[in-house]
Amino acid sequence: MCLTETNKFVLIIAQIYANTKPSVRVPLLLLPQAQNMRSPSGELESILRQVNFPVEFGMLCSKFCEGKKVSNSHHKREIKMRKLDSTKVRPLKSEQLLRIEDHDFALRPGFGGSPIPVGIDVQVESIDSISEVDMDFTMTLYLRHYWKDERLSFRSNKNKSMTFDGRLIKKIWVPDVFFVHSKRSFIHDTTVENVMLRVYPDGNVLFSLRITVSAMCFMDFSRFPLDTQNCSLELESYAYNEDDLMLYWKHGNKSLSTDEHISLSQFFIEEFSASSGLAFYSSTGWYNRLFINFALRRHIFFFVLQSYFPAMLMVMLSWVSFWIDRRAVPARVSLAWRCLLLFQKAAFVKLPVTEPEKLVTQCMPGD
């Protein structure tokens, strides 16, 4: 049985055929395909008996009714399956939800107004190496940025944030923080790039990444090996001065945290501290700068075992030559050379280069 809309459709087309092609007519009762097209009230059947329509059209109406029944049953089956599988939600593109295409993210948030505040906090994972020869250090850390961009606000019934990977970073504005005096650095990418972006419904943004950086540390070896070195890692915006971007520690002194198991073979890590200041460039102006400060006190016991103790043994061994008869020249010479070679191989480690002037000054008597 066809629907009411189908009956109206058949009636209209039948009347058109009756008016345009009166020569080709056939009674409705002679069409086996059309006998099933009956309405409950009998109105459609009585009208079509009087009009009559071609055989081809009767077959078309029959197929249309059958197709309508199949499509209706298929539609009902889909609705039933959707009700059963209520866990699947139609995916919504993040670009559409955040309306990225509606804004120009080449400009910073609030362009033309007050500087945008960008909070920073750092978690130091490890200090990988300290090089006295190159005067640098290598550190692995988690760097997190906090700011608010109202262009990224979205509607959320449950007030939940959305988390993205590094692919969305290239489409929105992010702070251009860099490390001052850095020699090399890289973002970890195993198994994927270690970058995280979290957007909250009110437009607040958290941008986190895991970085390993090697930076300069100006060291003073005048008291080596009883020296203490003060190093710092400095963060600053590259393009935005203090009129456009205000860089600050998010939680004050608590913004810098370290792993409890950080240790070095040659140094004691005395303290970590966070500070801030300003840097001036004659061509671009004043910039906010953040400092990660830490003090390194050299482990003297390491050098006692590696340098002083072997040197003392070699000197004591060389004294044996005084108990050898002075006429045994080959024995005295071979012992002296052997002590010298052992002293050169075992006692000397790779020490930092000291300025010749400082070395001469320290060795001269009376100073």
Check if the beta carbon of residue 314 is closer than 8 Å to that of residue 347: yes
Q: Angle CA(323)–CA(324)–CA(330) in degrees, nearest 5?
A: 150
How far the first Cα of the chain sits from its last, in Å, is 117
How crowded is residue 298: how many other Cβ atoms within 10 Å of its Cβ? 21
pTM over 0.75: no
10-residue mean pLDDT series, the chain (367 residues): 53 57 46 45 50 48 50 56 48 59 75 90 92 91 93 80 84 92 91 91 92 93 86 94 94 87 84 92 94 90 77 76 76 72 59 52 46
Residue 232 CA: distances (Å) to CA of 114, 126, 162, 167:
30, 14, 34, 32
Would you say domain 116-298 falls under CATH 2.70.170.10? Answer: yes
Say if strands 136-148 and 204-216 run parallel, antiparallel, or are unpaired.
Answer: antiparallel
Strand partners, 177: 237
Res 256: pLDDT:
92
Residue with tokens 């203490």: 228
Res 124: pLDDT:
93
Res 51: pLDDT:
46
Res 345: pLDDT:
61
E-strand ranges in the chain read 116-131, 136-148, 162-164, 177-180, 182-187, 195-199, 204-216, 228-237, 245-249, 256-258, 267-281, 285-298
> On the CB side of 183, how many CA atoms lie within 13 Å of its CA?
11
Please state, in angstroms and rounded to a whole number, the distance separating the CA atoms of residues 140 and 142. Answer: 7
Res 141: pLDDT:
94
DSSP state of 354: -
State the chain's maximal CA–CA distance in angstroms: 149
Angle, helices 55-84/4-20, rounded to nearest 10 degrees: 160
Res 334: pLDDT:
76
Residue 291 CA: distances (Å) to CA of 132, 272, 277, 279:
21, 10, 8, 12
Residue 281 CA: distances (Å) to CA of 216, 284, 287:
20, 6, 8
Res 260: pLDDT:
78
Res 235: pLDDT:
95
Check if the beta carbon of residue 302 is closer than 8 Å to that of residue 350: no
Closest CA to 162 of 112, 192, 199, 191: 199
Check if the beta carbon of residue 273 is closer than 8 Å to that of residue 231: no
The residue ranges of every structural domain in the chain are 116-298, 302-348
Check if the beta carbon of residue 283 is closer than 8 Å to that of residue 295: no
